[in-house]
Structure 1
Amino acid sequence: MDHSPVRIHSEELLSDNWYLLKKYSFELRRRDGSWQAQAREVYDRGNGATILLYNTEHRTVLLIRQFRMPTFVNDYHGYLIETAAGLLDNASPEERIRLEAEEETGYRVGHVEKVYSAFMSPGSVTERVHFFIGEYQPGDRVNNGGGLAEEGEDIEVLELDFDEAIAMVARGEIVDGKTIMLLQYLELRLLKATLADCAPVAADRAIR
């Protein structure tokens, strides 16, 4: 008995100019048990990784600014403030993000921590992004960063006060999804740590 909710009938390659764009014709089993014919275009560019670099002592984060053509053609100026990121290209997520962080920001990352993975545009793109955070120190900088000119990259490195970065999200100055997710993750993590530090003090006052 077939328990799969999907029956793929055909797979058509529409483009392999950069990555793979395919059209799938299939049947999807609905919740009432009936089958419905559908067709979807799916863009496969591989999986990726991204990292938010932060400094606890100075309460700063390292972000980058670069031009993104798809945002430009969607009524935006095109320059996005983002966390360092890149496609895996057959590397492990941790290996890739270390390389991308150094290439884009100029900082060689020590310990990194994976926080979660997420599909960013599941309606049309296969990409699953692996999210990391990592603490940096001023002495970790080994070059100027900026990306690879031969790949069309012209990246500006930004060191921002953490609270200002959060405010930039609220003001609509940071609009990149992965960056917002990691900034808010770090905000919740710092808030949790602050509350944990306050708890013993509150308990001591209650005892008195």
Structure 2
Amino acid sequence: MNKKVIIESQRIVYDDFFQIEEAYVRRTRFDGTLSEPLRILNFERGHGAAALVFNTETERVILINQFRYPTYANGQGPGWIVEVMAGMLNPGEDPQQAIRREIMEEAGYQVNELTPIATFYPSPGGSSECLFLYYAEVDNRHKIASGGGLAVEHEDIEIVEYSLPEAWQALAAGQIVDAKTLIALMWLREKLKEQS
């Protein structure tokens, strides 16, 4: 089937830290006909990079804990989320540059090699954001700064380290609720099973 998308109109309806785009779109249906114009909103926040960092010397997963207002506002949790390090790509920055910068800012580790885990859309029904997820191994020599985030960005980040059994228990107990972190930890668990 020849799939077709016709954008009849598009405009930015909100422009601040992120943008919201309104578009009227017609697209090919699975029966081959063309849809009527559909109003679609796209939350445009740019693309992001994230990484699961594992200290091979201490055999601990290095995560961060920080306040995420949207998770508090929905009434489902206290607002503080344990997650992998992540951040948005700056203009002209590639995903690996971005995540190396974020790991240094948030946890104080200098990372050399990054292994790709996955590239995915975290919420494709409403956002065009693409996330590049990586795995990085470090040891204590790579810790060259304190981390904790940037004061200029008003970041207040706690570094959290889990042994592998603690990480698997946190997964099983539903304590990890961030999607990119779930994906990364499940990937690591599977990788370690394959190696044993």
Q: Percent identity among equivalent residues?
A: 34
Runs of 4+ in 1 over 4 A off after TM superposition: none
Cα distance in 2 for partners of 1:120, 1:86 equals 14
Cα distance in 2 for partners of 1:67, 1:130 equals 22
Cα distance in 1 for partners of 2:16, 2:58 equals 45
User: Which shows bigger deviation, 146-155 or 76-85?
Assistant: 146-155
Q: Which residue of 2 aligns with 1:12?
A: 11
Alignment of structure 1 residues 16-55 onto 2, 5 Å = 16-37=15-36, 38-55=38-55
Cα distance in 2 for partners of 1:108, 1:9 equals 47
Q: Which residue of 1 aligns with 2:60?
A: 60
Structure 1 unmatched ranges of 5 or more: 195-208
Alignment of structure 1 residues 68-107 onto 2, 5 Å = 68-75=68-75, 76-90=77-91, 91-107=93-109
Give 2:32's aligned amino acid.
Answer: G
Cα distance in 2 for partners of 1:4, 1:14 equals 28
Shift in Å, 1:147: 0.7
- TM-score when normalising by structure 1: 0.88
Alignment of structure 1 residues 1-208 onto 2, 5 Å = 3-37=2-36, 38-75=38-75, 76-90=77-91, 91-194=93-196
Cα distance in 1 for partners of 2:57, 2:108 equals 20
Cα distance in 1 for partners of 2:49, 2:59 equals 23
Give 2:191's aligned amino acid.
Answer: R
Cα distance in 2 for partners of 1:12, 1:175 equals 34
Shift in Å, 1:58: 3.3
Question: SS at 2:195's partner residue?
Answer: helix
Cα distance in 2 for partners of 1:107, 1:179 equals 18
Question: SS at 1:95's partner residue?
Answer: helix
Structure 2 unmatched ranges of 5 or more: none
1:21-51 Cα offsets, whole Å, 9 max, x none, are 0111111211111122211110111111001
Cα distance in 2 for partners of 1:92, 1:148 equals 20
Give 2:175's aligned amino acid.
Answer: E
Q: Which residue of 2 aligns with 1:199?
A: none
Shift in Å, 1:176: 0.3
User: Which shows bigger deviation, 62-71 or 134-143?
Assistant: 134-143
Shift in Å, 1:152: 2.0
Shift in Å, 1:52: 0.6
Shift in Å, 1:169: 1.7
Q: Name the count of aligned residue pairs.
A: 192
CA-based RMSD: 1.2
Q: Is the 8 A contact 2:56 2:139 kept in 1?
A: no
Higher Cα Rg, which structure: 1
Shift in Å, 1:59: 2.5
Give 2:127's aligned amino acid.
Answer: V
Cα distance in 2 for partners of 1:105, 1:70 equals 23
